[in-house]
Amino acid sequence: MRAFGERLVDAVAARGPLCVGVDPHPALLAAWGLTDDPDGLGRFADACVSAFAGQAAVVKPQSAFFERHGSRGIAVLERVLAAFAEGPTLTLLDVKRGDIGSTMDGYADAYLGVGAPLGADAVTLSPYLGFGSLTSALDTAADAGRGVFVLARTSNPEGADVQLAELGGRATAQSIVDGVAARNAGAEPLGDVGVVVGATREHGLDLSALNGPVLAPGLGAQGAAPADIAGIFCGVRGIVVPAASRSVLRAGPDVAALRAAAESLRDELTAAV
């Protein structure tokens, strides 16, 4: 498999920068007239695959909303990942895993290794047991041609207590960005390790040396508009991939309406940035 950074560059060039969240939370299932059980989840997932496969550059399934349905929900998630793997749309599995030692190795085997049972093109990871604790996951992802997005500056207000705390004269979030930049140094056309930086507030980070992608959640229902993205992320050395979920998914369950909502937001975003 080609390196994730290279594949992401091609995907964004061909289909725009939008990442569509696949978040089957209970209220959304109800709004679509679906049951809050594995059967309803499966119908939701099938509609998203039909609407977004080959249309969006990236889709981001939120693992928690599949996990809450137990083994049958995980089976639906596996089916979603496999369906998108057959086409050009990249999958970013939002799992936010982070641990140490053999436990981190286990997560890497589950999500990032060659033939991983829950393998996506990329996953989200939490570095707040120390950036070095992610080394085995980063190495496993690189060996398999997969990518990783590391939480840096999230949009939730509680995150500031940890992420903006000073560490050696710099914010903890900046130290995460700098660690990612070191991993991506020299990569062409783009490194495989990205960061997660919320799009709903000024982040105060220096992203000029990142040489990797930025996942920017918060577009749409959380308050960020396409016009905000260029200003918030000016000076980024890499690709910014804004993510939207509810503002697209509320158009469902009709597949054509879902696809049109994603295309409309993608076009607004492309024009703005």
Please report, as a single letter, which amino acid is at residue 15.
Answer: R
- Compute how many other C-beta atoms are within 10 angstroms of the C-beta atom of residue 36: 16
CA distance 256 to 258: 5
Burial of 127 (0-12, 13-18, 19+ CB in 10 A): buried
User: Is the CB of residue 195 less than 8 Å from the CB of residue 211?
Assistant: no
User: Is the CB of residue 93 less than 8 Å from the CB of residue 120?
Assistant: yes
Listed in sequence order, the DSSP H helices in the chain are 4-15, 26-31, 38-52, 63-67, 70-85, 101-111, 135-144, 160-163, 172-184, 226-232, 246-249, 255-272
For 258, residues 6+ apart whose C-beta sits below 8 A from its C-beta are: 47, 48, 51, 52, 248, 249, 251, 252
At how many degrees (to 10) do helices 38-52 and 70-85 cross?
10
Whether 60 is catalytic is no
User: Is the CB of residue 131 less than 8 Å from the CB of residue 161?
Assistant: no
Q: Which of 31, 50, 83, 96 is catalytic?
A: 96
- Compute how many other C-beta atoms are within 10 angstroms of the C-beta atom of residue 267: 13
User: Is the CB of residue 235 less than 8 Å from the CB of residue 211?
Assistant: no
Query: Which residues are identified as catalytic?
Result: 96
